[in-house]
């Protein structure tokens, strides 16, 4: 069997990992040694950029640069209405799967994710020197059927056969378990960029048995950043009298600044935020206490799901032997503090919380490939599965936290003489009324032989496979004939649509790595040109005539080659332009520092009694 890689398709960053010849799982770096690929896709007029190159487009091309697309996977417009307000790219309201308008085209979330997966596939192929066609991809444990299916579709569009969808916290437990770093009953607290999961597992004799899982697929570090951005916007209104809330570029700069400040505050008590806008430069000190005041309630929102998972597992917090932290957001001290209070023991993250899920995915890949035979993961379905019955009530067929794969049978009949089709509505969720749960799909059961009403006995088998994805089979018991079932996913792509996207991706693909690199180089050149233009606007007066001439010459030189195909020339001129502007950067930094000192003095004076 050819090599299977493990992929962590994250809200903020994605990674690819494999198990090496010695049986050790390893994350695969890019040519520059970076392991994290930002889950960002920019649809620029020059072409599609992914990862770091796309990240640099966030503030420059906010409406064409798609980030955090995981929050839109397998969702309908009604689910993402709130979310859509917070992102600079346009979400197109449709009755089915949401679409994102990126420049002149509309793309679905699986297509965006497919770009990220494709980039990881290429990275793995370059590193391992062999074609990669199969992968294990992780998803939040609390992802529903539609979200899982959307992830599988993304893989298919990217040319990857997704052999298994694995839950992120359980993947993490495999990575820990392989190295014997976790035993007994463990709780995995996984707070990522956009999603939160808690899983309780029993690790015994090489079996990883998930006892219960819970979570929130719309809660993560993104929400922390958002809270800080809103606060900064209010501060800017108060201090500078400017309302930037409607300016996508400014919002994006603030978001990136807030994210960086949040990260620094994990190790520092106080940090300075400096964001240059065209009209003014915004400076602000933030303390850890201020950050905690802004995000405290969000952190608390993770505790309810933890308690419910414990209850479903039938265990008091004292019986948890170890608490493991996964996901970048668990670096935030207040998160660690709250987790410690809830479980009554200090959590640990011996393995890098950014990488551990990808490592675990690689372990699962190795299990599927037959390379590891003494480990077995027994996962659960996070949400109850039911069908709508008379009066809009849900009849539960498979309860949440049931070990998968699992199966349930249900019997249907007809209500009218000669009726040849039966319609059923499948739902996922914990509420009693159908309308309060997630509609997964409607099934048309057709081809039933005409019989008097109530005579047919149609057996429908609901099977949740090891991926947590539903499969349905139907059979008419009186005739023994299989009835055909047409699945109409409520918020998903049909098979035909996915097939079309796979084909499109072949025709439109910038499969040629060189073409892709050229786009990146060109776009980088444009970014630098743009920065220089902005810097000259703000600090041009700080330069002597000679310096100014050097910069203008470097700009002209880059402009001359930028539109061409000579990647090396573009890159060299870009480097030269960067070098030519060093003096300018220094001069501006000096001016900024003086300004910062002045403003701090003003603060200190005000603070005095």
Partner 1 sequence: MRSGPGANGRNDILSGPGRARSYFVETMTDYFEVFGLPRKLQIDLAALQRSFYALSRRHHPDFHQSAEADAQARELEASALVNRAYRALRDPIARVEYLIALEEGREVREETAAKANVPMNLLAEMLEVQEALEEAKSSGLSDGAADQLRAEQRRLRDRYQEETDALIAAAPEWDAVVDAGGERKPLLERFKQRLAARAYLRTVIDDLGQALGGSEERDVAHRRH
Which one from 190, 225, 259, 355 is the annotated catalytic residue? 190
d(CA 197, CA 64): 30
Answer for which of 94, 267, 337, 403 binds partner 1 (CB under 8 A) is: 403
CB of 44 closer than 8 Å to CB of 58:
no
Q: Is 472 in the site for partner 1 (CB under 8 A)?
A: no
Could you check whether the bond before residue 288 is cis, i.e. omega within 30 degrees of 0? no
* Shortest reach from residue 186's CB to partner 1, in Å: 17
**Active-site residue 190, yes or no?**
yes
- Under the binding rule (CB under 8 A), the answer on residue 351 touching partner 1 is no
CB nearer to partner 1: give 41 or 171: 171
Nearest alpha-carbon partner for 475 in 494, 456, 489, 493: 456
Q: Give least dist CB 215 to partner 1, A.
A: 10
- Total number of residues that touch partner 1 (CB under 8 A): 40
The reply on whether position 82 binds partner 1 by CB under 8 A is no
Phi-psi region of 314 (alpha: psi -120 to 50; beta: other; left: phi over 0): left
Contacts with partner 1 in 177-206 (CB under 8 A)? 204-205
Active site residue 121: no
Residue with smaller CB distance to partner 1, 403 or 514: 403
Distance CA 518, CA 307 (A): 51
Q: Note whether 84 binds partner 1 by CB under 8 A.
A: no
Q: Distance (Å, rounded) from C-alpha 153 to C-alpha 111?
A: 8
Q: Is 594 a catalytic residue?
A: no
Among 334, 398, 469, 498, which residue interacts with partner 1 (rule: CB under 8 A)?
A: 398
Closest contact distance (angstroms) between CB of 209 and partner 1 is 8
Which residues from 287-346 bind partner 1, rule CB under 8 A?
308, 311
368 is a contact residue toward partner 1 (CB under 8 A): yes
Query: CB-wise, 232 or 298, nearer to partner 1?
Result: 298
Stretch touching partner 1 by CB under 8 A, among 20-28, 58-66, 262-270, 371-379: 371-379
Residue 528, SS3? helix
Residue 463 binds partner 1 (CB under 8 A): yes
Using CB under 8 A as the binding rule, whether residue 406 contacts partner 1 is answered as yes
Binding flag, residue 367, partner 1 (CB under 8 A)? yes
- Per-residue b/e over 39-78, b at no fewer than 16 CB within 10 Å? bbbbbbeebbbbbbbbbbbbbbbbbbbbbbbbbbbbbbbe
H/E element holding 584? helix 582-607
Residue in 30, 145, 168, 225 annotated catalytic:
168
* Stretch near partner 1 under the rule CB under 8 A, chosen from 46-54, 464-472, 527-535, 596-604: 464-472
Q: What DSSP character marks residue 10?
A: -
Question: Least distance (Å) from partner 1 to the CB of residue 413?
Answer: 14
Residues 6+ apart with CB under 8 A from 543: 551, 583, 584, 587
Q: Which of 128, 133, 181, 207 binds partner 1 (CB under 8 A)?
A: 207
Residues 6+ apart with CB under 8 A from 554: 573, 576, 577, 579, 580, 581
Largest CA-CA distance found in the chain, in angstroms, rounded: 96
Query: Segment contacting partner 1 (CB under 8 A): 50-58, 241-249, 429-437, 584-592?
Result: 429-437
Cα–Cα distance, 250 to 238 (Å, whole number):
16
- Closest to partner 1 by CB, 431 vs 533, is 431
| Residue 373 within binding range of partner 1, rule CB under 8 A | yes
* DSSP letter (8 states) at residue 167: E
> Is 163 an interacting residue with respect to partner 1 (CB under 8 A)?
yes
Q: Structure tokens of 453?
A: 């009403």
Active site residue 290: no
Q: Residue 396 burial by CB count (10 A; 0-12/13-18/19+): exposed, middle or buried?
A: middle
CB neighbour class for 527 (10 Å; exposed up to 12, middle 13-18, buried from 19): middle
Q: Among the residues of 158-302, which ranges form H helices?
A: 168-178, 221-240, 248-264, 288-300
Binding status of residue 407 toward partner 1 by CB under 8 A: yes
Among 430, 497, 510, 547, binds partner 1 (CB under 8 A): 430
* Paired residues of 212 in beta bridges: 200
Report the residue from 161, 268, 423, 432 that binds partner 1 according to the rule CB under 8 A: 432
**Active site positions, annotated:** 8, 70, 168, 190
Give contact residues for partner 1 (rule: CB under 8 A): 1, 163-164, 204-205, 207, 209, 308, 311, 364, 367-370, 373, 376-378, 396-399, 402-409, 411, 429-432, 463-466, 475
């Amino acid at each position: 069997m050819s090599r299977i890689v493990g992929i962590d398709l994250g809200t903020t960053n994605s990674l690819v990992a494999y198990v090496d010849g010695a049986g050790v799982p390893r994350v695969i770096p890019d040519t520059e040694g970076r392991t994290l690929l930002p889950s960002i896709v920019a649809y620029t007029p020059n072409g599609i950029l992914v990862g770091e190159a796309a990240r640099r487009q966030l503030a420059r091309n906010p409406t064409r640069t798609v980030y955090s697309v995981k929050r839109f996977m397998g969702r309908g417009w009604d689910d993402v209405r709130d979310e859509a307000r917070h992102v600079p790219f346009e979400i197109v309201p449709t009755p089915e799967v949401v679409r994102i308008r990126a420049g002149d085209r509309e793309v679905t979330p699986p297509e965006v994710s497919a770009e990220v997966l494709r980039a990881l596939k290429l990275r793995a192929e370059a590193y391992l020197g062999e074609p990669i066609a199969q992968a294990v991809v992780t998803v939040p444990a609390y992802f529903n059927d539609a979200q899982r299916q959307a992830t599988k579709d993304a893989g298919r569009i990217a040319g990857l056969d997704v052999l298994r969808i694995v839950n992120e916290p359980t993947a993490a437990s495999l990575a820990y378990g392989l190295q014997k770093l976790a035993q007994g009953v463990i709780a995995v607290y996984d707070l990522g960029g956009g999603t939160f999961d808690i899983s309780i597992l029993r690790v015994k004799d090489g079996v990883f048995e998930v006892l219960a899982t819970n979570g929130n697929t719309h809660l993560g570090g993104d929400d922390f950043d958002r809270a800080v951005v809103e606060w900064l916007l209010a501060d800017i209104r108060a201090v500078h009298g400017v309302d930037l809330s409607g300016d996508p570029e400014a919002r994006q700069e603030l978001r990136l600044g807030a994210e960086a400040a949040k990260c620094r505050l994990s190790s520092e008590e106080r940090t300075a935020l400096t964001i240059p806008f065209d009209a003014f430069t915004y400076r602000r000190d933030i303390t850890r206490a201020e950050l905690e005041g802004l995000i405290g309630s969000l952190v608390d929102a993770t505790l309810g799901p933890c308690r419910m998972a414990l209850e479903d597992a039938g265990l008091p917090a004292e019986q948890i032997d170890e608490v493991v932290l996964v996901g970048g957001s668990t670096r935030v001290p207040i998160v660690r503090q709250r987790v410690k209070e809830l479980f009554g023991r200090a959590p640990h993250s011996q393995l890098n919380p950014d990488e551990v899920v990808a490592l675990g995915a690689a372990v699962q890949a190795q299990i599927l490939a037959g390379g590891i035979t003494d480990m077995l993961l027994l996962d659960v379905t996070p949400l109850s599965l039911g069908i709508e019955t008379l009066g809009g009530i849900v009849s539960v067929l498979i309860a949440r936290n049931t070990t998968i794969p699992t199966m349930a049978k249900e019997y249907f009949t007809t209500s009218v003489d000669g009726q040849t089709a039966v319609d059923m509505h499948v739902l996922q969720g914990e509420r009693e009324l159908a309308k309060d749960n997630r509609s997964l799909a409607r099934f048309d059961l057709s081809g039933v032989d005409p019989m008097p009403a109530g005579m047919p006995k149609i057996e429908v088998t609901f099977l949740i496979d090891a991926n947590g994805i539903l499969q349905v089979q139907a059979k008419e018991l009186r005739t023994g004939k299989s009835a055909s079932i047409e699945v109409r996913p409520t918020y998903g792509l049909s098979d035909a649509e996915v097939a079309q996207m796979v084909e499109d991706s072949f025709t439109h693909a910038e499969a040629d790595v060189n073409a892709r690199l050229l786009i990146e180089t060109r776009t980088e050149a444009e970014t630098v040109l743009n920065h220089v233009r902005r810097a000259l606007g703000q600090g041009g007066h700080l330069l002597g005539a000679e310096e100014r001439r050097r910069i203008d010459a470097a700009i002209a030189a880059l402009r001359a080659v930028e539109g061409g195909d000579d990647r090396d020339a573009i890159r060299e001129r870009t480097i030269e332009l960067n070098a030519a502007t060093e003096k300018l950067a220094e001069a501006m930094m000096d001016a900024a520092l003086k300004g910062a000192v002045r403003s701090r003095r003003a603060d200190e004076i005000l603070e005095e009694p």
